Amino acid sequence: MPKHDIHFNISERKILLRVVDILSILGMLYLVSSLFAFDYFSVTKENWTWVMVLLLYISAFGTVFELYDLQKASRLDKVTSNIILTASVTVLFYLLTPFFTPFLPANRLQILYFYLAIISALFIWRLVYINFIASPRFYKKVLIVGETSNIEIIVDAFNNSDPNYKIVGFINCEEPLENSLKYKGIKEYEPSEIHQVIKKEKISEIVVASYNAETITTNIYNDLIMLLERGFPIKEYTQVFEDMTYRVPVQFVGKDFYKYFPFSRSNQNKFYQFYHRLFDILFSFTGVLVGLCILPIIFIGNLFANKGPLFYFQDRVGKNGKIFSIIKFRTMIVNAEKQGAVWAAKDDDRVTLFGKFLRRSRLDEVPQFLNILKGDMSLIGPRPERPYFVKELSQVIPFYETRHIIKPGLTGWAQVKVRYGSTVEDSLLKLQYDLYYIKHRSFFLDANVIVKTLSTMLFFRGQ
């Protein structure tokens, strides 16, 4: 077998970013303490809690401000602002927790040294990452084997998920036909060239993206078997797609659908369900108290800017298809749907000026904490949809009603990954994320959703 170029997988790059962030910050602080009169932060056995708290803040706020998003981490313009936000909030919290961190120094200039050391360490390391690790020399080169009709969707999905995942070309696995479709986005190779392409382009793996395995010709099948027996990595498209994009490609699932839905054991785990419900109650109770505190402000804003009822009630589909009434702060004009149900859209002219603020800040969702307390909803899960749209979408999107096997949520994996859902195509994309959450549901994924929800709110990505 030919030697492959070195490359880093998605998980390896994320670990690398976090580990080197920590090492570079500690190294820079040590350098600053050696060169300047800086004793605010020192690494000793007695002060190990200082280091742990700093690393905790860097990791937490780096996640919130998307410092470990691989798409943004490979672009200097995006990562610069994320570094400044992460360092600023980290230093602020570090200064405000003196019980676990050093007391404020008499010389306030040391705080500036501390702040600049963290920013400099992160910035220098990220420059190295962008110009070295994220450069073409470490791209993972892939060859696709599949039908021409599906290639464009596959290429776009991979390109948008991992900047270091390079699709070199594809081989059409179908029997050649006259006037067959041609895809010009990437180079197409003949099936007989598969071994030459692997050697010439230093291919790292082959991804088989055939919707129907019966379309793969005998010659290609034999070549794939030969490569597999020699230890060459050959992967199935839907698994690679799920690992890279964190969503389930339901449009490629056929009659063997049961192979793609080994749903998370957490859906039946009594321990997980107990703590999930306990967390829902505690969080929603806190949310109701916060809602009561901001209610006077929203009432005044609604009185002058919305001019109508403060609350809005609407039927939604819950767990196992049960209908419940969701409660929200009203963001649209009165009688916004007098002509019938209409998709919500970006820059919807039915949304009032104050309603836009409520949507973008997600404050319109606060009353739904009452739905969580009642047990109609959970904090995390697929967003509940209206019965009219569920009936419509379930007729055109495969497995759409599968999202109802768990309670709908105030926030969810789809909500932190997709901004708007105003078309059938958008609903298909959201369903892919919802099914991924149901399939991999766990405490860790729930925590990930919470952190990403904070990022969504901080960057005002709500509707």
Measuring CA to CA, how many Å separate 389 from each of 317, 394, 400, 422? 10, 8, 11, 11
pLDDT band at 179 (very low <50, low <70, confident <90, very high): low
Instruction: Write the single-letter amino acid at 263.
Output: F
Domain ranges of the chain: 10-133, 139-245, 265-458
CATH number of 139-245: 3.40.50.11060
* Rounded Cα gap, residues 452 and 463, in angstroms: 16
Q: Which has the closest alpha carbon to 316: 370, 361, 371?
A: 371
Q: Which has the closest alpha carbon to 261: 431, 424, 10, 444?
A: 431
**What pLDDT does residue 253 have?**
74
- State the residue for tokens 């990505």: 461
Strand locations in 16-56, DSSP E? none
- For residue 195, the Cα-to-chain-centroid distance in whole angstroms is 36
Cα dihedral 222, 226, 228, 230 in deg (nearest 10): 180
- Enumerate residues 6+ apart whose C-beta is below 8 A from 68: 14, 17, 18, 62
Pairing mode, if any, of strands 165-172 and 140-146? parallel
Q: What is the pTM of this model?
A: 0.82
**What pLDDT does residue 352 have?**
86
Both structure tokens of 21: 């962030």
Tell me the β-bridge partners of 409: 378
* Rounded Cα gap, residues 399 and 201, in angstroms: 39
* Rounded Cα gap, residues 320 and 407, in angstroms: 8
**Whole-number percent of the chain with pLDDT over 70:** 91
Question: Residues 41-62: pLDDT tens digits?
Answer: 777 777 788 889 999 999 999 9
Which of helix, strand or coil describes residue 240? Answer: helix
Question: Residues 328-371: pLDDT tens digits?
Answer: 998 888 876 766 666 666 667 788 888 888 888 888 999 999 99
